[in-house]
């Protein structure tokens, strides 16, 4: 494996491009109701933005942005958001994952289902982002001192 060398051009360009990739990932997640996209695709884009900084600035500096230890817990939290949405609907008297029974006041049937889909997509996006970064970090672990 090649040793990491600081290269100002690569770091500057990555720092300029990464926020836009992140913004596009959030757009893909939250606009999944109206256009192609959704949690899986948006989460992958968010992970790409984080991995670009990890590749360009080195593993140690990238810890300031997204700590290594956060990867697996955030992935589990994403699954818990999904499961919690279904469980909340079940607690309110419906079936598991029946979003029509979510206990949010002021929103009626179909709007409630739209909201449930959004919550689920956010959970999927968070989980995919965190797990992809965590897999990269785990693969890199033996080389982190280079």
Binding site for other proteins (CB under 8 A): 32-36, 38, 40, 71-72, 75-76, 78-79, 82-83, 86, 97, 99, 110-111, 113-114, 116-117, 120-121, 123-124, 127-128, 130-131, 134-135, 138-139, 141-142
Q: Which residues contact 9 (CB under 8 A, 6 or more apart)?
A: none
Question: Of the two residues 1 and 34, which places its CB atom closer to other proteins in the complex?
Answer: 34
Nearer to other proteins, 6 or 138 (CB): 138
Alpha-carbon distances of 104 from 100, 113, 118, rounded to whole Å: 10, 11, 14
CB of 45 to other proteins, least distance (A): 15
Q: Smaller CB distance to other proteins: residue 14 or 137? A: 137
What does 37-73 look like in DSSP terms, one character per residue?
Answer: --HHHHHHHHHHHHHHHHHHH-HHHHTTTS-GGGHHH
Give min distance, CB of 73 to other proteins, in A: 11
Nearer to other proteins, 65 or 114 (CB): 114
* Structure token digits, residue 90: 């079940």
Integer Cα distance of 136 and 70 in angstroms: 13
Q: Kindly state the smallest distance separating residue 38's Cβ from other proteins, in Å.
A: 6
Task: Report the C-alpha gap between 135 and 146 in whole angstroms.
Answer: 19
Using DSSP's 3-state secondary structure scheme, residue 74 falls into helix
Q: Which is nearer to other proteins, 33 or 67 (CB)?
A: 33
């Amino acid at each position: 494996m090649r040793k990491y060398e600081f290269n100002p051009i690569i770091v500057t360009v990555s720092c300029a491009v990464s926020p836009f990739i992140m913004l596009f990932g959030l757009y893909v997640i939250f606009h999944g109701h109206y256009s192609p996209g959704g949690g899986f695709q948006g989460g992958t884009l968010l992970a790409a933005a984080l991995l670009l900084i990890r590749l360009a600035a080195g593993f140690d500096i990238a810890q300031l942005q997204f700590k290594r230890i956060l990867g697996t817990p955030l992935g589990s939290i994403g699954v818990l958001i999904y499961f919690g949405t279904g469980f909340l609907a079940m607690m309110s008297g419906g079936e598991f994952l029946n979003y029509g029974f979510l206990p949010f006041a002021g929103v009626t049937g179909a709007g409630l289902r739209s909201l449930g889909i959004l919550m689920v997509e956010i959970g999927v996006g968070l989980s995919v982002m965190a797990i992809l970064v965590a897999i990269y970090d785990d693969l890199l672990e033996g080389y982190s001192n280079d």
